Amino acid sequence: MERTDKRLTMLPYGQQWLDEEDIEAVVQVLRGDFITQGPMIQAFEQKVASYAGAKYGVAFSNGTAALHGACFAAGIGSGDEVITTPLTFLASSNCVLYQGGTPVFADIDPITYNIDPRQIELKLTPRTKAVIPVDFSGQPAEMDRIQEIARLHNLIVIEDAAHSIGADYQGRKVGSWADMTMFSFHPVKHVTTAEGGMIVTDNEVFYRKLLQFRSHGMTRDPQELTRNEGPWYYEMQSLGYNYRMTDMQAALGVSQMDKLDGFIDKRREIVAIYNRELAGIPGLVLPEQHPEAASSWHLYVVRFLPEYFEGSRREIFEAFRDCNIGVNVHYMPVYLQPYYRELGYAEGLCSNAEAYYETAITLPLFPKMSDMDVQQVIDVTKDIVRRFKKGNV
């Protein structure tokens, strides 16, 4: 049996890329007067909002907090239903639970893996208040159709764009489609602030609510105060949290944003190599693109169809890991988590997402990968295909 030369260390599926400029940007903040609640926050917010084609940005301590803020601003509460995809990270539906709302899962399109607009329509009820589409793997969901459904039924659209900053749909940037769009700056995402997140929006009412929610529900804005007892005076007008980002993080974010387009180019180059080198292998399904979508490629997911391969997905997964290729699985349908099962969600709810989950493996993809890293992923994948291939297919 052929062996691929084993790497000495595990290649992760995703990783940040920081350079001396990034480090210097953080150090400068540390040497200055404001390490939190200073001027870098607005600089970062403006940079991301203008990049994404939105008017306002509100930075948060992480993407999950940002989603929580968006659900608050949308007025989600007890008795409200919010439709989202099961193929996502926990935060996309947990944010609905935080507000006392009910997540409703609509199945994915089996080709793009994004929420299927027809399935959204099937899940609508008089209680539906919002939709949270997720741009899975970096490919925008079908935002034109989702917006159309939302307009028709008076729903708020909160786009979970944790995977898709820099992507576009019908030539329009992610961030300019939904009522509110969330970006995450976790180190595996396109640009990082270690932990961090942001909502971008064109809506001033949402913007003001998000600002308050991020900081205890407080305001000092003279326009918003019900009375004014003096220069010290502030008011708490709603129940908020401390979800603030620090200036060190925002400075890192500003510096990283300058590199975003270069990072996306590099991701697209690696994807083109994977697509070319792994094409035409029977039973190995490569990621497909919607004709209107231009992904910014957070994840490269392949599927090993069981009809073509001996052994389970688990054995195939472990074979990659044995070769120090740090593959991953994104994601088990959220409602199959024990906590959600206890809430009453059950297997069989979204058959496409469940079928997807049984066969998916995420290959490493990040801009700092070397040519050799990329080649090793390809060699190991081809080797595993040979080792696990069924005899007579």
Ligand X SMILES: *Cc1c(COP(=O)(O)O)cnc(C)c1O
Among 51, 56, 72, 89, binds ligand X (CB under 6 A): 89
Q: Which range, of 13-21, 86-94, 310-318, 381-389, touches ligand X by CB under 6 A? A: 86-94
Among 88, 128, 212, 328, binds ligand X (CB under 6 A): 88
> What type of residue sits at position 205?
V
Q: Which range, of 43-51, 120-128, 138-146, 156-164, touches ligand X by CB under 6 A? A: 156-164
Question: In the bound complex, what is the minimum distance in angstroms from residue 78's beta carbon to ligand X?
Answer: 23
Crossing angle for the helix pair 63-73 and 91-98, to the nearest 10 degrees? 40
Among 80, 160, 179, 354, binds ligand X (CB under 6 A): 160
Nearer to ligand X, 63 or 86 (CB): 63
Q: Contact, 282 vs 393, CB < 8 A?
A: yes
Among 63, 86, 103, 240, binds ligand X (CB under 6 A): 63
Nearer to ligand X, 141 or 377 (CB): 141
β-pairing, 235-236 vs 218-219, is antiparallel
Angstrom CA distances, 160 to 18, 140, 186, 268, 366, stand at 25, 10, 14, 21, 20
Q: Contact, 277 vs 251, CB < 8 A?
A: no
Among 163, 173, 214, 259, binds ligand X (CB under 6 A): 163
Give the DSSP letter string of 138-181.
Answer: GPPP-HHHHHHHHHHHT-EEEEE-TT-TT-EETTEETTSSSSEE
Q: In angstroms, rounded to a whole number, what is the distance separating the alpha carbons of residues 265 and 117?
A: 29
Nearer to ligand X, 309 or 356 (CB): 356
Crossing angle for the helix pair 247-257 and 39-52, to the nearest 10 degrees? 30
Question: In the bound complex, what is the minimum distance in angstroms from residue 85's beta carbon to ligand X?
Answer: 9
Q: Which of 303, 290, 367, 297 is nearest to 329 (CA)?
A: 303
Site string for ligand X, 127-146 (x = CB under 6 A): -------x------------
Contacts (CB under 6 A) with ligand X, residues 17-56: none
Nearer to ligand X, 160 or 168 (CB): 160
Contacts (CB under 6 A) with ligand X, residues 186-215: 186, 197
Q: Binding of ligand X at residue 92 (CB under 6 A)?
A: yes
Please list the residues that pair with 257 across neighbouring strands. Answer: none
Element (H, E) at 355: helix 351-359
Q: In angstroms, rounded to a whole number, what is the distance separating the alpha carbons of residues 358 and 169?
A: 29
Question: In the bound complex, what is the minimum distance in angstroms from residue 298's beta carbon to ligand X?
Answer: 7
Q: Binding of ligand X at residue 246 (CB under 6 A)?
A: no
Return the number of other C-beta atoms located less than 10 Å from residue 389's C-beta. 16
Question: In the bound complex, what is the minimum distance in angstroms from residue 174's beta carbon to ligand X?
Answer: 13
Question: In the bound complex, what is the minimum distance in angstroms from residue 160's beta carbon to ligand X?
Answer: 5
| Strand ranges, E, within the chain | 56-60, 81-84, 102-105, 128-132, 156-160, 168-169, 172-173, 180-184, 197-201, 218-219, 235-236, 284-285, 293-294, 300-304, 360-363
Q: Binding of ligand X at residue 91 (CB under 6 A)?
A: yes
Question: In the bound complex, what is the minimum distance in angstroms from residue 198's beta carbon to ligand X?
Answer: 10
Q: Binding of ligand X at residue 14 (CB under 6 A)?
A: no
Angstrom CA distances, 178 to 102, 130, 144, stand at 20, 11, 10
Place of tokens 């913007």: 207
Nearer to ligand X, 153 or 290 (CB): 290
Question: In the bound complex, what is the minimum distance in angstroms from residue 337's beta carbon to ligand X?
Answer: 14
Give me the residue whose beta carbon is nearest to ligand X: 63
Among 16, 62, 114, 295, binds ligand X (CB under 6 A): 62
Question: In the bound complex, what is the minimum distance in angstroms from residue 88's beta carbon to ligand X?
Answer: 5
Q: Binding of ligand X at residue 64 (CB under 6 A)?
A: yes
**CA within 13 Å, CB half, 126:** 0
Positions touching ligand X (CB under 6 A) are 62-64, 88-89, 91-92, 134, 160, 162-163, 184, 186, 197
